[in-house]
Structure 1
Amino acid sequence: MRVVIAEDNVLLANGLELLLTAKGFHVAAITQDAPGFAAAVDEHRPDVTVVDVRLPPTYRDEGIHAAIRARRRHPGLPVLVLSQYVEQQYAGELLSDGRGGIGYLLKDRVSRVGEFVDALRRVAGGGTVMDPEVIGQLLTRPARDPIATLTPREREVLALMAEGEDNTTIAARLVITDNAVHKHIGNVFSKLGLSPDDGGHRRVLAVLTYLSRR
C-alpha cells in the first residue's frame, strides 16, 4: 500500500516512515510543504496519504487545504490528517465532501501504533476515522444544537460510529445487541434529519452535522 506523507517535522516524518514500513506499507514520498505534497500525489497516486494540518510557510492551515485540493484533483483520495490540537473547523472542511476515506487524529495517537495503523487502513479502505477527543468536544455542544435531542446512549453510539466502528463492534463495546445498535443509529439519523436517500454516507453526514453546528 503506497503512502505519501506531508510533515515538516523531520523526526516525526522519519518515525512515520519507519513505523509504516515495518507494518508493510510503502512510503512513496515524504514532503514538507503543500506544493511538494501536491506534486507527490500527482506522481505516485498513493493509496492513502498522511498530512499535518500545519505546514510551511505560515504553519496555520496549509496542510488541510492541500489535502482538500488534492481530493478535488483526485476524487476520493484517502487522507489521514494529523493535528497537534483539536481544530473542529479544519476537520469540518475536510469532511465537507461527504465521500469518506477521511481521518482526523491527534498526533499523540501515532504513539499508539496499533490504533494508528488500524486507522490508516480504515481510511485507505474508504472509511471515516475521527479522534475520540474531537468527538468528545462535539458531544458537549449547547442545547440549541440538534445533537442535544439525542439520548445518552444515542450519543455513545454516534461517537463510536464517528470513530469508524461497525455495528457489530459498537454492540460489543456497549454490551448491547446488534438490533439495539441498528435502532439507535436509525434514531440518530432521524433526529439529525438525515434522509435514507443519503445511503451509506449518513455516517459521515452525522459527523458533519456535529461539525457544522458550533
Structure 2
Amino acid sequence: MRILIVEDSVLLREGLTRLLADAGHEVVAALADATDVTAAVARTVPDLCIVDVRLPPTFRDEGIRAALELRRRDPSLAVLVFSQYVEERYASDLIAQHGGAVGYLLKDRVTDVAEFLESIDRIAEGATVLDPEVVAQLLTRRSRDEKMQRLTERERTVLSLIAEGKNNAGISKVLFISAGAVEKHITSIFQKLDLDQDDQGNRRVLAVLAHIEAMGEPAPVAPQAPRAGEPHQTGTNS
C-alpha cells in the first residue's frame, strides 16, 4: 500500500515510516506540516493518508482541515486521522463526506502494533474505523431527529459499535448475544432510520452518520473497548 504521512513530531514520523515499511507498505512521503500536502498527494498518488490534527504553524486544526480538503478533491482517497485530540466538528464533517474510507484513532490509546496495522488495512479496504473514545464524544451530541428517537437503548448501543467499525460477529462477542439477535437489531435500526438497501451496501455507514449528524435528545455513550492487555469485562463493554 502507498501511504503518505503528515506528522510534525520527527520521532513519531520516523517511527511510523519504519513501522509501515517493515509491514510491507511504501511510505511515498512523510511531511512535517500540511503546507504542501495537496501537491504531495498529487505527485505521489497514495492509497492512504495518515494525518495528525494539530500541525504547524498554529497547532490547532491544520491537519484535519487538510484531510477534509484532500477528501473534497478526491472523495475516493482513504484517510486516517491519527491524533491525541478529538475535534468533534471536523470529525463529523470528515465522516459525513461520501467516498473513500476514513479512520480516526487516538495516539495514546494505540497499545498494540498488530491492531494498528490491521486498522490501516481495514481503512484501505473501505472500512470506517473510529476509536471508541471518538465515538463516545461524537455520540454525546444531542439529537432532535425524530427517527433517532425511535431507537431503543440496545439499538443505540449496537449502532455505536457499528460506528467503531465492528462487524456483526464483533458486536455479538461484545454484547454476548447471538449473531441472529445482532442481525435483528441491525435490521430494526435500518428500518427505523428509513435506510433502504443500496447497491454498495452502505447502510451501516449511513446509519452511523444519521446518529452523529443528528441534533437534539442525548444519545448514550458507546461502550469503550479495553486497551490491549486489560481484562475483558462482562456486560456491554468491548
Tell me the TM-score normalised to structure 2 length: 0.80
Does structure 1 residue 178 correspond to structure 2 residue 179?
A: yes
Question: Does residue 187 in structure 1 map to residue 188 in structure 2?
Answer: yes
State the SS of the aligned residue for 1:3. strand
User: Runs of 5+ in structure 1 lacking a partner?
Assistant: none
* Structure-2 separation of matches of 1:101 and 1:55: 22
Deviations 1:72-106 (A, max 9, x none): 32231000001212221111111122324100111
Cα distance, 1:199 vs. partner? 5.2
Aligned residues: 214
Paired-residue identity, %? 54
Q: Which residue of 2 aligns with 1:39?
A: 39
Which residue in the other structure is 2:65 paired with?
65
Determine the structure 2 residue equivalent to 1:82. Answer: 82
Partner of 2:114: 114
Cα RMSD of the aligned pairs, angstroms, is: 2.2
Q: For 1:20 and 1:61, locate their aligned partners in 2 and report how far apart those are by CA, in whole Å.
A: 25
Render the CA deviation track for 1:88-143: whole Å, top value 9, x for unaligned.
11111111223241001112134431221111111111110111002223444447
Deviations 1:161-210 (A, max 9, x none): 11112222222332322222121112222333433348522222222223
CA distance 1:28–1:199, shift in 2 (3 Å): closer
Q: Which has the higher helix share?
A: 1
Gaps in structure 2 of 5+ consecutive residues: 216-238
Distance in 2 of aligned mates of 1:190 and 1:135: 22
Distance 1:22 1:125, change over 3 A: same
Structure 2 equivalent of residue 153 of structure 1: 154
Q: Is the 8 A contact 1:47 1:124 kept in 2?
A: yes
Offset from partner CA, 1:15-62 (integer Å, 9 cap, x none):
211222222222111012223221221111112110011222222222
Q: Is the 8 A contact 1:53 1:82 kept in 2?
A: yes
Corresponding residue of 2:52? 52
Distance across 2 between alignment mates of 1:32 and 1:171: 41
Give how far 1:213 is off.
Answer: 2.7
